[in-house]
Protein backbone atom coordinates (compact mmCIF):
# COMPACT_ATOMS: atom_id res chain seq x y z
CA UNK A 1 0.00 0.00 0.00
CA UNK A 2 1.38 3.43 -0.99
CA UNK A 3 1.29 6.19 1.62
CA UNK A 4 -1.07 9.05 0.89
CA UNK A 5 0.64 12.44 1.16
CA UNK A 6 -0.70 14.67 3.90
CA UNK A 7 -1.50 18.07 2.49
CA UNK A 8 -3.23 20.68 4.63
CA UNK A 9 -6.59 21.73 3.20
CA UNK A 10 -7.90 25.28 3.12
CA UNK A 11 -9.60 24.68 6.49
CA UNK A 12 -6.23 23.89 8.08
CA UNK A 13 -7.04 20.19 8.51
CA UNK A 14 -5.03 17.33 7.10
CA UNK A 15 -6.03 15.60 3.87
CA UNK A 16 -4.32 12.38 4.98
CA UNK A 17 -5.58 8.81 4.79
CA UNK A 18 -7.41 8.94 8.12
CA UNK A 19 -9.46 12.00 7.15
CA UNK A 20 -10.09 11.02 3.54
CA UNK A 21 -10.79 7.29 3.90
CA UNK A 22 -11.19 6.37 7.57
CA UNK A 23 -13.13 8.22 10.30
CA UNK A 24 -15.84 9.59 8.05
CA UNK A 25 -19.56 10.09 8.68
CA UNK A 26 -22.13 9.18 6.05
CA UNK A 27 -23.88 12.27 4.60
CA UNK A 28 -27.66 11.87 4.67
CA UNK A 29 -30.40 13.72 2.79
CA UNK A 30 -33.42 15.42 4.39
CA UNK A 31 -35.24 12.06 4.56
CA UNK A 32 -32.33 10.48 6.44
CA UNK A 33 -31.18 8.35 3.50
CA UNK A 34 -27.44 8.02 2.65
CA UNK A 35 -26.37 10.20 -0.29
CA UNK A 36 -23.26 8.14 -1.10
CA UNK A 37 -21.01 10.95 0.14
CA UNK A 38 -18.98 11.06 3.34
CA UNK A 39 -17.63 13.87 5.51
CA UNK A 40 -14.53 13.67 7.75
CA UNK A 41 -15.24 13.48 11.47
CA UNK A 42 -13.91 16.66 13.06
CA UNK A 43 -16.04 16.92 16.16
CA UNK A 44 -18.09 14.80 18.52
CA UNK A 45 -21.73 14.62 17.47
CA UNK A 46 -24.32 14.96 20.26
CA UNK A 47 -24.98 11.64 21.99
CA UNK A 48 -26.78 10.48 25.10
CA UNK A 49 -27.27 7.35 27.20
CA UNK A 50 -29.86 6.49 29.84
CA UNK A 51 -28.28 5.25 33.08
CA UNK A 52 -31.41 4.80 35.19
CA UNK A 53 -33.74 3.04 35.38
CA UNK A 54 -31.81 -0.12 34.55
CA UNK A 55 -33.19 -2.22 31.66
CA UNK A 56 -34.97 -4.78 33.86
CA UNK A 57 -35.99 -2.42 36.67
CA UNK A 58 -39.59 -2.78 37.84
CA UNK A 59 -41.46 0.52 38.20
CA UNK A 60 -44.90 0.98 39.70
CA UNK A 61 -47.65 2.38 37.47
CA UNK A 62 -48.66 5.89 38.52
CA UNK A 63 -45.62 6.46 40.75
CA UNK A 64 -42.91 9.00 39.91
CA UNK A 65 -39.71 7.55 38.46
CA UNK A 66 -36.61 9.50 37.50
CA UNK A 67 -35.10 8.77 34.11
CA UNK A 68 -31.56 10.11 34.05
CA UNK A 69 -28.36 9.73 32.10
CA UNK A 70 -25.47 11.49 30.43
CA UNK A 71 -25.17 13.56 27.27
CA UNK A 72 -22.05 14.82 25.50
CA UNK A 73 -21.01 16.73 22.38
CA UNK A 74 -18.28 19.00 21.13
CA UNK A 75 -19.16 22.32 22.73
CA UNK A 76 -21.78 20.67 24.95
CA UNK A 77 -25.23 19.26 24.30
CA UNK A 78 -27.89 21.94 23.92
CA UNK A 79 -30.92 19.73 24.63
CA UNK A 80 -31.90 16.15 25.46
CA UNK A 81 -35.24 14.49 24.83
CA UNK A 82 -36.53 11.24 26.30
CA UNK A 83 -39.05 8.83 24.80
CA UNK A 84 -41.00 6.34 26.92
CA UNK A 85 -42.84 4.75 23.99
CA UNK A 86 -40.10 3.54 21.68
CA UNK A 87 -39.62 6.87 19.91
CA UNK A 88 -43.25 7.60 19.01
CA UNK A 89 -43.16 10.77 21.14
CA UNK A 90 -40.45 12.79 22.90
CA UNK A 91 -40.33 14.82 26.12
CA UNK A 92 -37.72 17.49 26.96
CA UNK A 93 -35.41 16.53 29.82
CA UNK A 94 -33.67 18.88 32.21
CA UNK A 95 -30.01 19.28 31.26
CA UNK A 96 -27.03 20.49 33.30
CA UNK A 97 -25.05 23.44 31.98
CA UNK A 98 -22.21 22.63 29.60
CA UNK A 99 -18.69 22.93 31.04
CA UNK A 100 -16.05 22.34 28.37
CA UNK A 101 -16.17 18.77 27.11
CA UNK A 102 -17.51 17.28 30.35
CA UNK A 103 -20.51 14.98 30.20
CA UNK A 104 -23.79 16.64 31.15
CA UNK A 105 -26.38 14.99 33.36
CA UNK A 106 -29.97 15.00 32.12
CA UNK A 107 -33.10 13.97 34.01
CA UNK A 108 -36.84 13.63 33.53
CA UNK A 109 -39.50 12.71 36.09
CA UNK A 110 -41.91 10.23 34.54
CA UNK A 111 -45.13 8.64 35.80
CA UNK A 112 -45.70 5.31 34.00
CA UNK A 113 -49.43 5.15 33.24
CA UNK A 114 -49.69 1.41 32.62
CA UNK A 115 -48.18 -1.89 33.66
CA UNK A 116 -45.95 -3.82 31.31
CA UNK A 117 -42.75 -3.18 29.39
CA UNK A 118 -41.80 0.28 28.15
CA UNK A 119 -39.05 1.15 25.68
CA UNK A 120 -37.01 4.12 26.92
CA UNK A 121 -34.76 6.13 24.56
CA UNK A 122 -32.85 9.38 24.70
CA UNK A 123 -31.47 11.72 22.06
CA UNK A 124 -29.26 14.79 22.34
Query: What is the pTM assigned to this prediction?
Result: 0.67
Burial 71-86 (b: 16+ CB within 10 A, else e): bbbeebbeebbbbbee
For the chain, domain boundaries: 12-42, 47-123
Is domain 47-123 in CATH 2.60.40.650, yes or no?
yes
Quick: pLDDT tens for 18-68: 666 777 888 899 998 999 888 777 777 789 999 999 998 999 999 999 999
**Helix or strand run (H / E) with residue 11:** none
Indicate whether 6 pLDDT > 70. Answer: no
Amino acid sequence: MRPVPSTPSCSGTSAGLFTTRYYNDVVRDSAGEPTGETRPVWSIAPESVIVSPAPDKTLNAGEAAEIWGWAWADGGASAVEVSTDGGASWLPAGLEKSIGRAWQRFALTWHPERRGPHELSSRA
